[in-house]
């Protein structure tokens, strides 16, 4: 997979700066498309994708139940599924997360009940015998599941998405730039973080600035790129007017993070895996949004440099 340069770009001549920056950003976006292509075809990505496909896609109702009981949950499965599918075991003393599991059984073609409930109902359907009925959803039952953090055993494959490099000056500049970008920023400790596996979130608020919350971490470069990612959400997707599907929003925000981080000398090649997970089969979609991505990245770069010049 292609890697980003760790040398900071500079465009000193004010007469040609915008044109040079625009050209460089376009080149970098093309680099990113190639990197996503390479990431998608890698063995690491295929292994990760295979494991992800084995996790159940829970309904909105069950997703809410899981979040209420275990806000940090990322990968959830039943007791036996952890053992049989992933060679992991629920740790002793762990409390189950309860969801509603569907009950699939033979179903009366007329009243929709299972055979036992059909016999107790007033339904008079008798054209076919119960053993000839098709199966369908007849109800729900409580079922226990567990998050990966409640288990131990074989490690699940991960994707190397973190940015690396020196960001001691960039992080303070980004925090100071928040007022110019018109966002409110909070860096939250890992112990108080309540957004699961997310590195950051951007919450849009009626009548006031978006709130960007970012989980604190030792890797300053990754913290910086996460801040840029969430700033991009605020600039591109705020106000409740954006109707772009979530995968496209994540694509735009991460591409902006990739460009801004690379401009300031960080290695942001991990963005390729992040984007592959969202839009791996259509990386050229990035090019369709080149203007939005490029102009937003340039806006953030300009604000950071203005803040740094006045520091």
3-state secondary structure 24-69: HHHHHHHHHHHHHHHHHCCHHHHHHHHHHCCCCCCCHHHHHHHHHH
- C-alpha angle 58-240-280 in degrees, rounded to nearest 5: 50
| Backbone φ and ψ of 181, nearest 5° | -80, -10
212-237 tens-digit pLDDT = 999 999 999 999 999 999 999 999 98
Q: 254: which 2 tokens?
A: 């991460």
213 and 200 in contact (C-beta within 8 Å)? Answer: yes
Domain boundaries, the chain: 17-47+158-309, 76-153
Describe the crossing of helices 220-237 and 246-263 by its angle, rounded to 10 degrees: 130
Q: 128: which 2 tokens?
A: 């076919």
Provide the 3-class DSSP secondary structure of residue 88.
strand
Provide the 3-class DSSP secondary structure of residue 151.
strand
Confidence (pLDDT) at 9: 63
Report, as an integer, the average pLDDT of 67-96.
Answer: 92
The average confidence (pLDDT) of the chain is: 87
The yes-or-no verdict on residue 82 having pLDDT over 80 is yes
277 and 44 in contact (C-beta within 8 Å)? Answer: no
293-306 tens-digit pLDDT = 999 999 999 999 99
Please compute, for residue 206, the number of CA atoms within 13 A of its CA located in the half-sphere on the CB side.
0
The yes-or-no verdict on residue 118 having pLDDT over 80 is no
237-269 tens-digit pLDDT = 875 555 568 888 899 999 999 999 999 999 999
Nearest to 35 by CA among 235, 267, 299, 228: 267
What does the alpha-carbon distance between residue 175 and residue 160 come to, in Å, rounded to a whole number?
25
61-74 tens-digit pLDDT = 898 899 889 877 88
| Backbone φ and ψ of 104, nearest 5° | -105, 125
Q: Which residue is listed with tokens 């599907």?
A: 245
Measured from the Cβ of residue 57, the count of other Cβ atoms closer than 10 Å reads 7
């Amino acid at each position: 997979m292609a890697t980003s340069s760790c040398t900071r770009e500079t465009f000193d001549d004010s007469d040609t700066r915008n044109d040079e920056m625009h050209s460089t950003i376009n080149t970098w976006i093309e680099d990113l498309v190639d990197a996503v292509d390479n990431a998608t075809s890698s063995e690491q990505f295929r292994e990760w994708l295979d494991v992800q496909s084995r996790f159940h896609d829970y309904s909105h109702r069950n997703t809410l139940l899981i979040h209420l009981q275990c806000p940090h949950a990322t990968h959830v499965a039943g007791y036996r599924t952890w053992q049989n599918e992933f060679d992991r075991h629920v740790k002793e003393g762990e409390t189950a997360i309860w969801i509603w599991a569907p009950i699939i059984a033979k179903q009366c073609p007329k009243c929709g009940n299972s055979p036992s409930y059909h016999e107790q109902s007033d339904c008079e359907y008798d054209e076919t015998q119960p053993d000839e009925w098709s199966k369908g959803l007849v109800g729900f039952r409580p079922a226990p599941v567990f998050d990966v953090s409640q288990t131990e055993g074989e490690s699940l494959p991960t994707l190397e998405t973190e940015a690396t490099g020196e960001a001691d000056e960039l992080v303070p500049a980004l925090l100071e730039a928040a007022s110019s970008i018109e966002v409110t920023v909070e860096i939250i400790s890992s112990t108080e973080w309540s957004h699961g596996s997310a590195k950051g979130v951007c919450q849009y608020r009626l009548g006031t600035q978006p709130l960007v919350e970012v989980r604190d971490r030792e890797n300053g470069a990754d913290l910086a790129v996460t801040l840029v990612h969430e700033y991009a959400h605020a600039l591109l997707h705020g106000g409740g007017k954006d109707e772009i599907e979530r995968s496209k929003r994540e694509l735009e925000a991460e591409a902006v993070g990739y460009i801004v981080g690379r401009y300031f000398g960080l290695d942001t090649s991990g963005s390729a895996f992040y984007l592959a997970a969202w839009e791996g089969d259509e990386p050229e979609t990035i090019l369709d949004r080149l203007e939005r991505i490029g102009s937003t990245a340039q806006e953030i770069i300009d604000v950071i440099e203005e803040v740094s010049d006045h520091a």
